Amino acid sequence: MKVSIGCDHIVTDKKDEMVNFIESLGHEVIDNGTYDYERTHYPIYAKKTAERVLNGEADVGVVICGTGVGIGASSNKVKGIRSALVRDVTTAVHAKEDWNANIIGVGGRIVGQGLMEEIVETFLNTDYVPTAEKESLIQALEGPKDNDGGLNDENFFDDLLEKWDRGEYHNQREELTWERQNKKQR
């Protein structure tokens, strides 16, 4: 199996460990970054990870941020992705068996590495059990297929990131607790 993986700067070390673990299971991994601890934005890595899956370069994806919420929910906004936030092994089974998730989100600061590995292994080893009527209802929710939402557009975020670089965003919480911790750890 080929697995596309992505993370934000809060959990780069957890993602690197996950890459090693998935490879140790005999799977191939496409690591979409981020690769260091420099402040970045999880939608970028959600999009990159999702595109590999949608393009058929990978079978499934795993996205990791602090809680798994931001990057997982962002990946779910990419048209064609079904993502689920998973924090336990039972949910990992259901995410695939029932929802046919092609990406799971995991919180690297919430779930310990051992459980996170068990979750990912379970997800990779579980098959979808299709239900025709449910499928048609879910597809109806996805809406018309004519808007690809910037799929494969590498410059999709450029305007927004330039605004960020120019200091045009004024966040209420400039530095999250985890970011302070990350700096202390390095």
Q: What is the smallest separation between the CB atom of 20 and ligand RB5, expressed in angstroms?
A: 21
Q: What are the strands, taking DSSP E only, across 25-154?
A: 28-31, 60-65, 83-85, 103-107
Q: Which of 5, 7, 63, 65 is catalytic?
A: 65
Is 7 assigned a catalytic role? no
d(CA 70, CA 61): 15
137/176 with CB nearer ligand RB5:
176
The rounded Cα 56 to chain-centroid distance in angstroms is 16
Q: Which is nearer to ligand RB5, 136 or 185 (by Cβ)? A: 185
Residues that bind ligand RB5 (CB under 6 A): 8, 10, 42, 65-67, 69-70, 176
Q: Position 145: which residue type?
A: K
Identify the DSSP state of 170.
Answer: -
Please report the sign of the dihedral spanned by the C-alpha atoms of residue 106, residue 107, residue 108, residue 111.
Answer: negative
Q: How far is the CB of 38 from ligand RB5 (least distance, A)?
A: 12
Amino acid at 133: E
Closest approach of ligand RB5 to the CB of residue 98, in Å: 24
Tokens of 175: 């530095």
- Cross-strand pairs, 84: 104
| Least CB distance to ligand RB5 at residue 176 (A) | 5
- H or E segment and range at residue 117: helix 113-125
Q: Which residues carry out catalysis?
A: 65
